[in-house]
Structure 1
Amino acid sequence: MNLLILGATGPTGRHVLDRALAAGDTVTVLARRPEALADLADQVTVVAGDATSHKDVAKAMIGQDAVISALGRSTSVRADDLFTRAAAAVIAAAEEQGVSRLVWMSSFGVGDTYKSASALQKLMYSTFLRNIYANKELSEKAIRSSGLDWTLVYPTLLTKGPAKGTYLAGNCLPMKGNPKISRADVAAFMHKAAHSTEWIQRDAVITD
């Protein structure tokens, strides 16, 4: 598969990248800091650019079969419109280049998944994470109405642990306590979803 990865220099995106290379995909990465992937210069096509730029995304999307986005704001609780701007750029570029498959990472607690959160989680989502979650929700509304073959992935609290391969994934999962999942398992799920029709136009809540 010819695969474009957005957010590949981030902690989850790097797991997606490694998984794709191990699977034999032909990988293109759009990155603001291409030097961060210097160790993979002979294995990956790196396009310098910004995921919020239609022009940059369209350039990177030429010849791709699917797009995986693992874009994030690191430790910031301010979205700065990253997700809405990136979604607009991806949707426009996908239509221009004829690419339909998109796997997009969100967060548990965004949109309808908020209903399944615990009281403590809801407090955090509606206060500290209010800005970033609101922007994520807006971006996902655009993706849902785009006509693309999207999958929206909602991982619970992300950890640095190794992939276990025993995670749970579903449209709606019962939650207890403070559920977690490793970034490596999220990456494995997203990569698998991009190669399958199972999760097209479906939400996927994912947790251990």
Structure 2
Amino acid sequence: MKLLILGATGPTGRRLVELALRAGDQVTALVRNPAGLGDLADQVTVVMGDATSHRDVSAALAGQDAVVSALGRGASVVADDLFMRASAALIAAVEETGVSRVVWLSSFGVGHTLSWASVPQKVIYRTLLRSIYADKEIADDAVRASGLDWTVVYPTRLTHGQAKGTYRADDRLPMKGNPTISRADVAAFMHEAVHGSEWIGRSAVISD
């Protein structure tokens, strides 16, 4: 599969790139700083640009089979409209290029998934993460309303642990406490989802 990955230099995106390469995919990474790819840079097609730019995303998306977004804000709790702007750029680009398959990374607690969170989780989501989660909700809704072959992924708290391969994934997955999932397992789910049809038009909540 010819696969465009957004957020390829991030901790989840790098794992996704590694998985895709091992699976034999032809990977294109749209990045602002190619150095962030490290030793992966020589194994992918690198396109320098901004994921919030319609023009840049369109250029990188041309000729691809699908796009996976693993964009994130890192340790920042300031949204800066990143996800809203990136979703708008992506939707315009996929409509222009005719690439309809999109897998989009969000977070558990955003939008409709907030109702399944525990009380302690809701406190964090409504305070510390309020700005980012509001931005993500706008972006997620835009992706779902796009008419494309979308999948929106809602992982619980991300860790840097090894992939377990035993995570749970469902449209509805109520939580207790503060569950986690490794970025490696999230990447594995997203890679599997983009290669299949099971999750098209569905919002996947995933957790250990």
* TM-score of the superposed pair, with normalisation by structure 2: 0.99
Matched to 1:160, the amino acid is H
Residue number in structure 1 paired with 2:75: 75
Residue number in structure 1 paired with 2:93: 93
Matches within 5 A, 1:98-113: 98-113=98-113
- Structure 2, unmatched stretches of 5+, are none
- Structure 1, unmatched stretches of 5+, are none
Local SS of the residue matching 2:24: coil
Q: Percent identity?
A: 69
Matches within 5 A, 1:1-208: 1-208=1-208
1:60 Cα deviation after fit: 0.3
* TM-score of the superposed pair, with normalisation by structure 1: 0.99
State the distance in 1 between where 2:17 and 2:180 align. Answer: 22
State the distance in 2 between where 1:49 and 1:42 align. Answer: 17
Local SS of the residue matching 2:187: helix
1:41 Cα deviation after fit: 3.2
1:140 Cα deviation after fit: 1.0
Residues 114-158 of structure 1 show CA distances to partners (whole Å, capped at 9, x for unaligned) of 000001100100011000000000011111111110000000000
RMSD of aligned Cα (Å)? 0.7
Matched to 2:9, the amino acid is T
Residues 160-200 of structure 1 show CA distances to partners (whole Å, capped at 9, x for unaligned) of 10001000000111311110000000000000000000000
Question: Is contact 2:35–2:41 with CA below 8 Å preserved after alignment?
Answer: no
State the distance in 2 between where 1:41 and 1:107 align. Answer: 27
